[in-house]
Amino acid sequence: IYSRLINLLYLGTPGVGKSLMSRLLSEKTGLTWIDVSKFAIEKECLEEYDEVYQCPVLDEDKLLDQLEGLMCEGGKIIDYHGADFFPERWFDIVFVLRTDNTILYDRLRDRGYIGKKLEDNIDCEIFQTILEEAKSAYREEIVHELTSNDLNQVNENVNRICQWIEQWKIDNQED
Ligand SMILES: Nc1ncnc2c1ncn2[C@@H]1O[C@H](COP(=O)(O)OP(=O)(O)O)[C@@H](O)[C@H]1O
Ligand SMILES: [Mg+2]
């Protein structure tokens, strides 16, 4: 029996639709969506800038400190591309979103990604890097791979997740 509300983790290569699905699920359930990249900027958890990847490097310890209290309350949807440094105990269900390479390529190009950054992100999706990372970081039975190629799939996934949340409440919480 858990003493906190459910916490969910959305993972996946940039562009697979984590933020879109997190926002919709948050609107539907009332759970609080935390986009970790934005949260890290707001809470000043960034170190130097990586010139090759054109993105800032995270101060992971500071970020974990900032998130700890929120995660202990529960009721959070965490949205981030990597899982390897979050404590396992934070999450009850983990979703890894997947998108076909050609669709992802177009989404990332529309977002302005070019060159090495674009190619590396497509490789990351092809090699299932984040799925493997999630499976090694969390119990396999709580890791769910979801496809997010079109908007119908987004709605189907959100509805399915709402059902999982209801089931989790039945299984884990006293009334
Ligand atoms: N399943 C989908 N079908 C169509 N467009 C999508 C889908 N998922 C995401 N998008 C669009 O692709 C872009 C990237 O989505 P976003 O949620 O920002 O990805 P992430 O947070 O994983 O980087 C956004 O413009 C979003 O509206
Ligand atoms: Mg995002």
pLDDT in tens, 87-126: 999 999 999 999 999 999 999 999 999 999 999 999 999 9
pLDDT in tens, 31-54: 999 999 999 999 999 988 888 777
Q: What pLDDT is stored for residue 74 in this prediction?
A: 97
* Burial environment of residue 171 by CB neighbours within 10 A (0 to 12, 13 to 18, 19 or more): exposed
**Which pTM does this prediction carry?**
0.94
- Whether residue 6 has its Cβ less than 6 Å from ligand 1: no
How far is ligand 1, taken at its centre, from the CA of residue 18, in Å? Answer: 7
